[in-house]
């Protein structure tokens, strides 16, 4: 289930990079200080080179920072934006409904399948049924 994602935590569904940001200075041989926006004021601005990626200008690899609210514990919550598809898997004795969601700050390629019952309880405004 997708929920709270920590910045810097490597996970299959969490964003790999945000930015691009300007280099301010080289602190040591392998660390750089970046100019971060005010939304990331809680994040320490010095990073090791293995955490940085050269910006080549590929718009698919850049995650926009607008609308990304970082908490005091340096985390943010992903919110589903749109439902792409619905499916029902039939097992031997029951049926399980799944829904494919597009998440805020992710591309359509990053959409995930989630259990419909759990998502209805968390985000009822996304489910509109016609009776």
Contact 97, 88 (CB under 8 A): yes
Domain with CATH 2.40.50 in the chain: 80-126
Q: Tell me the pTM.
A: 0.44
Contact 3, 77 (CB under 8 A): yes
Each residue's pLDDT tens digit, 86-130: 899 898 888 888 889 888 777 777 888 988 888 888 888 887 763
Each residue's pLDDT tens digit, 60-94: 656 666 666 666 666 667 888 888 888 998 988 88
Q: What CATH code is assigned to 80-126?
A: 2.40.50
Of 56, 100, 48, 104, which Cα lies nearest the Cα of 76?
104
CA 120 from centre of chain: 20
The burial class, CB within 10 Å (0-12 / 13-18 / 19+), for 80 is: buried
Q: Which two tokens stand for residue 29?
A: 């041989």
Q: What is the per-residue DSSP string for the chain?
A: ---EEETT---SSS-S-----EEEEEEETTEEEEE--GGGTTS-SEEEGGG-------GGG----TT----TTSEEE--EEEEEEEEEEE-SS-EEEEEEEEETTS-GGG-EEEEHHHHHHH-GGG-----
């Amino acid at each position: 289930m997708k929920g709270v994602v920590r910045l810097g935590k490597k996970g299959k569904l969490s964003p790999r990079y945000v930015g691009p940001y300007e280099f301010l200075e080289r602190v040591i041989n392998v660390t750089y200080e970046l100019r971060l926006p005010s939304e990331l004021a809680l994040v320490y601005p010095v990073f090791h080179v293995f955490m940085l990626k050269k910006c080549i200008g590929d718009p698919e690899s850049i995650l926009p920072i607008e609308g990304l609210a970082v908490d005091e514990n340096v985390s943010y919550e992903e919110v589903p934006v749109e439902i792409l598809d619905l499916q029902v898997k039939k097992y031997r004795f029951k049926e399980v409904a799944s829904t494919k969601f597009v998440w805020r700050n992710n591309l359509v390629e990053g959409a995930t399948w989630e259990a419909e019952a759990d998502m209805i309880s968390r985000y009822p405004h996304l489910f509109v049924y016609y009776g």
